Chain A
Amino acid sequence: MTGSIAAIGMGLAAIGAGIGVGNIGGKAFEAIARQPEAVGDIRANMILTAALVEGAALIAILMAFLVK
């Protein structure tokens, strides 16, 4: 099979982002369980943080494209 080592980098970036977003989601649900009345604030901040983590993974994937 042909390919590039950059593909492994993309996979690692996906793993990293997966762990990060998983942690964010898990902790957010814990927080909601503790304090259900704050669900609105927690959800907004959860999505914001998840988006930022995802941004790091996207930069890594872009770099994987560029270095080939």
Chain B
Amino acid sequence: MYKVFKNSLFVAIFSVTRLFAQQHAAEMGANAGQDTLAHSVNIPSGAHSAAEEVHGAGPAVMDANHAEHAAGGHEEAEFKADEAAFHHISDLNVYSIGPWNLPLPCMLYAPNKGWSLFSSSKFGIDNAHHGSGHKAIDGYVLNHGKVMRVKDPNFPQTEVEVGHFTTREEVIDEKGTKKDVSYVEYNGAEYALEHQSTADGGLFGGGITNFYDFSITKNVAGMFLILALLSWLFLSMAKKYKSAPGTAPTGIQKLIEPLIMFIKEEVAIPFIGAKHERFMPLLLSLFFLILALNLFGQIPFFGGTNVTGNLGFTVVLAIIVTLVVNFNGNKHYWQHIFNMPGIPGWVKFLITPIEVLSIFIKPLTLSLRLFANITAGHIVILVFISLIFMFGKSGANPGAAWGASVASVLLALFISAIELLVAFIQAYVFTLLTASYIGAATEEHHAHEAEH
């Protein structure tokens, strides 16, 4: 599944570029060995210039040490834009801002081991290797920013030094399903790693694993930050409204008040009607939370928390909306689902299953819409930035990297501008659809009652 997503998205957006890259694959292969060699001593000069170019450019989401990794390529010689893009939108156990890797608390649980609580700085995060730890703790390792667990139970369950990480695509079952499997080097032998545990059931890699990751990850840290920011903003504003009621808004109130009035007058009142006051807290919370997280995820060189582009987060929001809609549904709402009025009996056999399904399809599309829009936007920007490294041929061709960087930074700027619009539109659409679902569930159907 991951492979399909990778391929189709990539082919759709960048078939031309890919072709260009493939044309030069032979030359790349020739340069590859030399690059790896160069990297073990220091960073190739081409990589350095490309890295600085990314650093100087406004919208670039990659930072210098990512660029080093991308250009130097310590494990894979050829730069893979799709892998780089997926790495940068995924949730990590370390918060990277520029060359600094801020450690985050790890809370890990394995059924046969119990809880392991420690800071991810204990892994000994290596800048040159891009968020990979050179230590294993309790059998856990940090592979490119993600906590993974060594599968082998004989692996030492204390603090030990480990070597390089490698990732290979392997056939994992008799059906021939291929999946990326990571390995860690220890004492000259390779140990297979369990994937990072995810709640999406392995839809985008990972899956149900032999350990559970309850850590404060990059995304969770970003959410806490936004929680603090929004709480401070709205509580201080509320205080102002209480202390000086009826006065003209000042400062940040001038920005927030029109947005609140917009949600109230353009979303809540037209779709919900008289009962809108009751649902305003939910609608405003959804709108400002999604808007703030969307915008926060777009700040370049700030870790790039991708909270609203995470399926787990959007699904939880959609579940909350579904519970609110269905618990507030009046008898007309349920009557329209199970016993649609005004149609012949035999049609009801067709309509009722569709209506019941729609209860579940509504939150599904609600969560997927937000997730897909934000994720697609981030991937497009990252792939534009990746062009620099693809044209630069992994640091072998600094001239082409400089040339491509001009074009790709301009394109990334353009997409970033569109993404600002999308950040607002998606927050608005999520709130609008929530309001329309609530409105449909709480509406009084006077017209129908008159007919019957």
Q: Which positions in A face B, CB cutoff 8 Å?
A: 1-4, 6-7, 10-11, 14, 40-41, 44, 47-48, 51-52, 54-55, 58-59, 61-62, 64-66, 68
Cβ contact within 8 Å between B266 and A4: no
**A28 nearest CB across to chain B (Å):** 14
A10 to B432, CA, bound (A): 26
A55 to B366, CA, bound (A): 8
A44 to B272, CA, bound (A): 14
1/0 contact trace for B11-35 toward A, CB 8 Å?
Answer: 1100000000000000000000000
With A7-B8, A47-B429, A48-B433: A66-B1 Cβ-Cβ less than 8 Å: yes
The A contact surface, by secondary structure, is helix
Cβ contact within 8 Å between B1 and A65: yes
B410 within 8 A of A: no
Which residues on A sit within 8 Å (CB–CB) of B428? 47
A4 to B432, CA, bound (A): 36
Cβ contact within 8 Å between A64 and B361: no
With A3-B11, A47-B428, A47-B432: A62-B368 Cβ-Cβ less than 8 Å: yes
Which residues on A sit within 8 Å (CB–CB) of B267? 44
Q: Which positions in B face A, CB cutoff 8 Å?
A: 1, 3-5, 7-8, 11-12, 203, 266-267, 270, 361, 364-365, 368-369, 372, 425, 428-429, 432-433, 436
Cβ contact within 8 Å between B432 and A51: yes
Cβ contact within 8 Å between A4 and B7: yes
Cβ contact within 8 Å between B11 and A41: no
A9 to B397, CA, bound (A): 38
Which residues on B sit within 8 Å (CB–CB) of A11? 8, 12
Cβ contact within 8 Å between A2 and B361: no
Which residues on B sit within 8 Å (CB–CB) of A54? 365, 369
Cβ contact within 8 Å between A48 and B432: yes
Cβ contact within 8 Å between A40 and B7: no
Cβ contact within 8 Å between A51 and B266: no
Which residues on B sit within 8 Å (CB–CB) of A52? 365
A38 to B26, CA, bound (A): 61
27 A-B contacts (beta carbon < 8 Å):
A3-B11, A4-B4, A6-B8, A10-B4, A10-B8, A10-B12, A14-B12, A44-B266, A44-B267, A44-B270, A51-B369, A52-B365, A54-B369, A55-B365, A55-B368, A55-B369, A59-B361, A59-B364, A61-B368, A61-B372, A62-B364, A64-B4, A64-B8, A65-B4, A65-B203, A66-B1, A68-B4
Most buried by A among B4, B369, B372: B4
Cβ contact within 8 Å between B266 and A47: no
A51 to B362, CA, bound (A): 11
Which residues on A sit within 8 Å (CB–CB) of B429? 47-48, 51
Most buried by A among B361, B365, B429: B365
Give me the 5 closest cross-chain CB pairs, A-B, nearest first.
Answer: A7-B8, A55-B365, A58-B368, A65-B1, A3-B7
Which residues on B sit within 8 Å (CB–CB) of A66? 1
Which residues on A sit within 8 Å (CB–CB) of B433? 48, 51
